[in-house]
Amino acid sequence: MSSALRPMAGVLAAMAVALTGTRVSAIALPWFVLTTTGSAAQTGLVAFAEMAPYVLVKALTGPLVDRVGPRRISWITDIVSAVAAGTMVGLYAFDLLPWGGLIALVVVVGAARGPGDLAKEIMVPEAADRGQVPLERATGLMGVTERLAQAVGPAAGGAVVAVLGPMASLGISAVCFLLGSVIVAWALPRGMGRRVPAPQGQEGEDEGYWRRFWQGFAFLRGEPLLLAMAIMIAVTNLLDAAFVQVLAPVWAKESGYGPAVLGLNSSVVGAAAVGGSLVAALVAHRMRRRPLFFVAFLFAGAPRFLILAADVPLWALLAVFALSGFGGGFLNPILGAVSYERVPRHLLGRVNALSDALAWAGIPLGGLLGGVAVAAVGLKPVLLTCAAAYALTTNLTGLRPEWREMDRRRVTPEPRRATGSAPRSDARDPDRTGPPPAP
């Protein structure tokens, strides 16, 4: 492998094993709690104990990632995750794992995964620069990695849980987290992910945490396109959570298809999304982003809800889910490329942390609202309402003027390391155009 491509391969490999560990634990932990306590409420509490600190800590540690450097944060958080998961396995083996201890360790894992995932994400543009890889291709490969982990992790976790039990599966998660830290330490050069200084006169070395945090908030508020993307994804994430957690399982039960077809639908979506991400990695950098983005969302969103509300044969159902997954594979590469181009490198951590937290804010509410709505009016009206809400959110919003900026590719200038610095206006000029960095 070329030394120039080694950082890109290292970031993707570290991301792959860490995400696989997270997906495996998402199967192992709920199953362990459900089989040992028999309580759905306690199972839900464990899921909340992992996801709530994930979102919150990820939002708050952006300034720390910018200050310390993403390579170091990634390495440390992978070690912490591995130790916490391994501790659960060890304490359970000696019958020393109380309920409170389990919750505490799950909180540690969730709190570590948030900044760990963030750190890997913001190393992608530097890895792309070093390997002379266009941003859309780099983010497309990142999307492939995420989709593969999403497809392989739960399947592997479920198989290991069935054969060896949930704690053995959680041990695999610990090994994945440890392997992620080894890859980061070995494959990424020491200069990779170093803290990027701000342009001269914009930020002092002694600035405190909260001033850095509010700098990220102010930047995001001053970027209408990034803010619009985060708000739109927050709505679609809420609808997706309702679909996955409530609407699709209720449909599987009421239609008589059962869990086998429900799992088949998920597998078809995942496989098609991998294909979409691969195509995006190959050709998306040659295409206009805005039309591609909204056409992809047209296929990825509302059709899934509509097809479950209709009485159609299984082959038609699978075809729609395959089309949905293929369209969804284009979304994250485009979103990532736009974000990496528009956010100065010294602000990447704090801005991406806030935008990700905003985009994920609706996920905990999706299942709750979906369940209440189905109980009140029935499944089909909720499916049709969600389809309409998805279509309006992902299509009419694209007519707003800020979305035109999506096709204006611009390079955010890096701060000069000599006495001079790039003018401040260059980093925020809304009319600045140009090719992606290191095409």
Is 208-412 assigned to CATH 1.20.272.10? Answer: no
pLDDT of residue 105: 93
d(CA 213, CA 216): 5
Q: Is the pLDDT of residue 423 over 70?
A: no
pLDDT of residue 420: 32
Q: Is the pLDDT of residue 225 over 60?
A: yes
Distances (CA, A) of 44 to 47, 277, 367: 5, 32, 11
Report the candidate in 330, 354, 399, 70 with the shortest Cα–Cα distance to residue 223. Answer: 354
pLDDT of residue 218: 87
Write out pLDDT tens, residues 176-220. 999 988 998 887 777 665 555 555 555 544 567 778 888 888 888
pLDDT band of residue 408 (cuts 50, 70, 90) is: low
Write out pLDDT tens, residues 312-358. 888 898 999 999 989 888 888 788 778 878 888 778 778 877 887 78
The residues near 65 (Cβ < 8 Å, ≥ 6 apart) are 73, 115, 118, 119, 122, 349, 350, 353
pLDDT band of residue 422 (cuts 50, 70, 90) is: very low
> For 33-47, 103-117, 230-244, which range has the lowest pLDDT when averaged over its residues?
33-47
pLDDT of residue 51: 76
Percent pLDDT > 90 in the chain is 13
pLDDT of residue 44: 63
Write out pLDDT tens, residues 293-305. 888 888 988 999 9
Report the candidate in 199, 240, 180, 181 with the shortest Cα–Cα distance to residue 365. Answer: 240
pLDDT of residue 89: 92
CATH tag, 1-188: 1.20.1250.20
pLDDT band of residue 222 (cuts 50, 70, 90) is: confident
pLDDT of residue 88: 93
d(CA 218, CA 225): 14
Q: Is the pLDDT of residue 154 over 70?
A: no
Q: Say what the pTM is.
A: 0.67
Q: Is the pLDDT of residue 155 over 70?
A: no
End-to-end CA distance of the chain: 20
Q: Is the pLDDT of residue 260 over 70?
A: no
pLDDT of residue 435: 30
User: In a 10 Å sphere around its CB, with 0-12 CB exposed, 13-18 middle and 19+ buried, how is residue 145 labelled?
Assistant: buried
Percent pLDDT > 70 in the chain is 80
Domain ranges of the chain: 1-188, 208-412
Write out pLDDT tens, residues 66-92. 788 888 899 899 999 999 999 999 999
Q: Which amino acid is at 227?
A: L
Average pLDDT of the residues in 302-309: 92
